[in-house]
Structure 1
Amino acid sequence: MKKIRTPFFIVNPKSYLYGEESLQLALVADKLAEKYGIDIFYTAPFTDLANIKSHTKYIKITAQHMDPLVPGRGMGYILPESLKAAGAEAVFLNHAEHSLTLTNLVKTIKRAKELDIITIVCADCLEEAIAIAKLGPDILLCEPTALIGTGKTSSSEYMIETTTKIKEIDKNILVMQASGITTGEDVYKVIVNGADGSGATSGILNAPDKGKKLEEMIQAIVKATNENMKY
């Protein structure tokens, strides 16, 4: 697996942005990744991935989903090799808006590993996180579905418990906490509570200045990292 610098950040516009708008925010993220030396993952619709890849150097281009098929038949499905060819370095799996059966999740993680594509797998609760941790994802996103888009973050207790339990199963899994992230302070709290990374959607997209809000969140990662290094 490619080395991921921690703490990392994921900009996840989902399908709210596409085309030129998606590219413009990706360019901002690319500059911030270089400026602060932070690994920033950037998701975009499948049809935008190659264009964003060709205009950026520092962000990790991330697909929103893929299917476990191999080259050949599979009309209408997302071929992992096609994502790799488009420049994708990572993929989201099992998001609340595109959940997978356990069988498909196992197969898809296997295919991603074959192609050295970083897997970011979502879990809705502690029990699901524990089950998914046994599948060996690269990043496990602990994100209670009920909090998505609410502006309300998980409790510190939830963050610490999920992170601890996952690391007990596999210390190599990076744990991401991201529900309801809207401010730099939210990001700071996530990192000081032990998470390896965070990310946001509506917290960035609803801001009057998306680029400014994103930089506020990246600065919070730097601040939290410096705080953690003191102890």
Structure 2
Amino acid sequence: MFILVNLKAYPCDPLEVATAAHEVAEESGVRIAVAPQAADVRRVADTGVETWAQHVDPNGYGSHTGSTLAEAVAEAGADGTLINHSEKRLKLADIDGSVQAAARAGLETCVCANNPAQIGAVAALGPDSVAVEPPELIGGDDSVATADPDIVRDAVEAAANVDESVEVFCGAGISSGDDVDAAGDLGATGILLASGVAKADDPRAALEDLVEPL
């Protein structure tokens, strides 16, 4: 099971979370990554934790002021990137362009989508993984794995029908080891979460709880 912690733009200490994630990953043997703001990618990567960007744009080098260049975050130490998060929606053509840009830069990709139909559509673009995250559950107390388990099962099936090599992650409302366990039982191979760790009073304790059933 892969645990990907998205720090969004929360007022947390990215180095505290990254250090805790690195230590818990080393101690538990569970793969854990942290996705900080673009400005913090290099500092977070320097802690030794697996580091992801929150977004990359579909363009390459050139006159693209304000863009997040895949090559730039890779050079800063990122190993992968989220694409099309619910809070950073892209058109399908731009999702495709961002997946290709990430691939050129050697970044692993996880494309987010709202529902199984969208999961099937983005899986066809050839990302490494997809994450199903109903917007109404993001940041809430209810996990998609427990509040709407069918959407996870259907997302796994939708991705497999398109490309069996594309892994499916479970996002939205994940905050405990029980949520992680439930996601795995439904066929997810990873989880995508944010506030459960980034807003925790003790990020290390939150991470330890997440990996406990693994």
Partner residue of 1:60? 50
**1:229 maps to which residue?**
none
Q: Deviations over 1:44-85 (max 9, x none)?
A: 0111111111222xx321111111222222111111111111
1:8 matched residue in structure 2? 2
Q: 2:95 aligns with which of 105, 112, 115?
A: 105
Structure 1 unaligned residues grouped into runs of 5+: 1-6, 223-231
Identity in percent: 29
Q: Determine the C-alpha separation between the residues in 1 that align with 2:157 and 2:20.
A: 33
Tell me whether 1:28 sits opposite 2:20 in the alignment. Answer: yes
Aligned residues: 211
What does residue 93 of structure 1 align with?
Answer: 83
- Asked if the contact 1:178/1:200 (under 8 Å) is kept, the reply is yes
- SS of the residue aligned with 2:55? coil
Distance 1:51 1:206 in 2: 20
CA distance in 2 between counterparts of 1:204 and 1:113 reads 28
2:163 to 167, 170, 178: 170
Q: 2:182 aligns with which of 186, 189, 197?
A: 189
- CA–CA separation in structure 2 for the residues paired with 1:163 and 1:54: 34
* Residue type at the aligned position of 2:72: S
Of residues 43, 46, 52 in structure 1, which corresponds to 2:35? Answer: 43
CA contact (8 A) 1:160 1:194 kept: yes
Q: Give 1:147's aligned residue.
A: 137
1:81 to 71, 85, 98: 71
Is the CA contact 1:151–1:203 (under 8 Å) kept in the aligned structure 2? no
Shift of 1:199: 2.9
One of 198, 206, 210 as aligned partner of 1:213: 206
Which residue number corresponds to residue 130 of structure 1?
Answer: 120
SS at match of 2:156: helix
Q: List per-residue Cα deviations over 1:150-201 (Å, max 9, x = no partner).
A: 1112222221121122112111101001211122111111112211111321
Letter in 1 for 2:128: D
Write the distance in 2 (CA, Å) between the matches of 1:175 and 1:72. 33
CA distance in 2 between counterparts of 1:201 and 1:79 reads: 23
Q: Counterpart of 2:151? A: 158
Distance 1:62 1:17, change over 3 A: farther
Q: Distance in 2 between matches of 1:121 and 1:219?
A: 27
SS in 2 for 1:77: coil
Partner SS state of residue 30, structure 1: helix
Listed one character per residue, the Cα deviations across residues 71-112 of structure 1 (whole Å, up to 9, x for unaligned) are: 222111111111111001111110111100111111111111
**C-alpha distance 120-31 of structure 1, shift in aligned 2 (>3 A):** same
Cα RMSD (Å)? 1.3
Deviation at 1:207, TM superposition (A): 3.2
Tell me, what secondary structure is at the counterpart of 1:55? coil
What is the alpha-carbon distance in structure 2 between the residues aligned to residue 203 and residue 83 of structure 1? 25
Structure 2: 5+ residue runs without aligned partners? Answer: none
Q: Give the C-alpha shift of residue 39 in structure 1.
A: 1.5
Where 1:73 maps in the other structure, the secondary structure is coil
